[in-house]
Structures are given as C-alpha cells and as structure tokens.
Amino acid sequence: MASPRVRADAIHCLMPSRSTTPRAEPAAPETVQSLRKGFEILRCFEPNHDVLGNKELSERTGMPRPTVARFTATLVELGYLRTTPDRKYRLTSAVLDLGFTFLANYEIRELIRPYLQEVADFAMAGCSVGTIDDLNMLYIEQCRCRAIRMGVHVTVGARVPITTTAMGHAYLAGLLPDELAHTLRLLRLAWPREWSKNRRAIEASIAQVRETGFCAVLGGWQEGIHAVGVPLVSRDGQHVYGVTCAGPSNLLPKEKIIGKVGPKLVEMVRSASTMIL
C-alpha cells in the first residue's frame, strides 16, 4: 500500500471491548444485564480515578447506591476489586490480567513499535497508536522520545475521547462512509450538548486528512497540547487505527507540528502499512 488508506468520501481503564467498532444497538433481551452492570462498574476505574466508593460509582453509572453496593461486594468476593482503608475500592491484578491478555493479542503492537519510536525521537514527543473502544479511543501502544522525558502522560490501556483528539479524528477519517455516518450518529447521541462544536472540528480534521494525509488538533483535547493524527487501515479494511504524535505546545509549536511532524507521521504510516498490515 503506497499511502495510508484514507477514504476520499469519508467526512478509546483496562477493560476494553473485543470489537474495533462501537457498540451500536441496545442489548438483546437475552443479554445478562447484571453482567453488563458489573463491567460498567469496573470501567469506572481510570488512571486518575483509581480509588472510588459506592457513591462515586453510583454517580458515574447512574445505578442506585444499594445496587452498586451489591455489585462491589460481589466483585470483591470474585477478586476483581479490593477494599481500601477508607472503605472504597480499587482494581486488583485480576482485572489487569484481562486487559493485558487482550492487548497481547494485538500483534500490531510489536510490529509498529519501531516506527512509533522513530517518530517520537524525531519530534521529541510521544507517538501512539489506538483504536475505538466503546466510543473512546483505546491506547494499544505508545513510545516516548528517548532523549527527553516530556510529553503527554497517557499510558497503554488508557482511553481518550474520539471527538476532541487527533487519534480519534484520524480513526474517523479511516472509516468507510457508512461506518463513519453510524459512528458520528452514536457520538451525537452520546454528547449532544457539545456536538455542534465537535462535529465542525471532526469535519475539518477529515478534510485536512484528505488534503495532507494528517490532521492537527491544537489544544482541542487539553490546553497546551498539540497533536497530529494519521489513519492506519488494514488491507482488508477490517481494522482501523489512529496513529498520533503529541506533546506540549512549547516543544511542538504549530509550525513544527504541521510543517515537520505531520509529514513525518504520514511517511511513517506509509512505511509501516506496507510491512505490518
């Protein structure tokens, strides 16, 4: 494949889903709702919110506190949560085992790592690859510049928004038209208040990918963070990834990230796509 696959007509915790497409439809009647609720509780635990009580879990899931209390007691008994001295909860290594078993199945992690490291060292920033997970982007691999330990502190297994990140916008740019329209509809339903602004930013990014091969998101996700993203699509079209390079704006000013880092990332994805997908 001579270039990163971008469709010209196209306008992510450690408990990822197994699919690279968003969960679209309501649960079928035969779905075990208690199992779904248990996973919803586990997914509330994030790198910056790793200790949560029943009150916080109730607020995050919308479940009544008595219901949450029953689930957390069960999850403690099963070994997926442990209690803290202040009677809250944190994940155990049993959950981590599930997450890393999932990540280990991504052969792309090993194959793309040298390419990510090359761009990270070139840009003196962080370079990552991720894919969709339940209307967020899931980081499946990341490399940071070996010469300077500054950059965006996001680790493998973490999720970031699709709507406001270069990784998310690049992923959307790699979708087929029907897939894109479906995903945008789900995003609109999930975040209606922000949708007008987010839609304009997404459309601008996809247009930029069409023109240059990459999109730039300058402070859209976090103030002071500049990032570029490139879509990476498997030959069979079944797997779509967003590849991104990001760092503080003082290290990646607009002129550098658009004039040098973006083209370098496109070149990297072009090379990687012929070797690993």
As a whole number of angstroms, the distance between CA 177 and CA 214 comes to 18
The answer on pLDDT for 10 being more than 50 is no
Nearest Cα neighbor of 239 from 182, 150, 187, 179 is 179
Q: How far is CA 173 from CA 130, 165, 244, in A?
A: 14, 12, 13
Residues 6+ apart with CB under 8 A from 166: 205, 215, 216, 217, 221, 227, 228, 229, 242, 244, 246
Q: Which CATH superfamily is domain 100-276 in?
A: GAF domain (3.30.450.40)
Is the distance from CB of 133 to CB of 112 less than 8 angstroms?
no
Q: Does the reported pTM lie above 0.85?
A: no
| pLDDT reported for residue 103 | 56
The answer on pLDDT for 180 being more than 50 is yes
- 103-124 per-position pLDDT tens digit: 554 677 778 889 999 999 998 8
How confident is the model over 213-221, as a mean pLDDT? Answer: 86
pLDDT-based confidence at residue 271 (cuts at 50, 70, 90): confident
| pLDDT reported for residue 237 | 73
Residue type, 173: A
How confident is the model over 6-18, as a mean pLDDT? Answer: 35
Domain spans, the chain: 100-276
Residues 6+ apart with CB under 8 A from 255: none
The pLDDT mean for the chain works out to 81
Nearest Cα neighbor of 228 from 184, 179, 269, 185 is 269
| pLDDT reported for residue 153 | 63
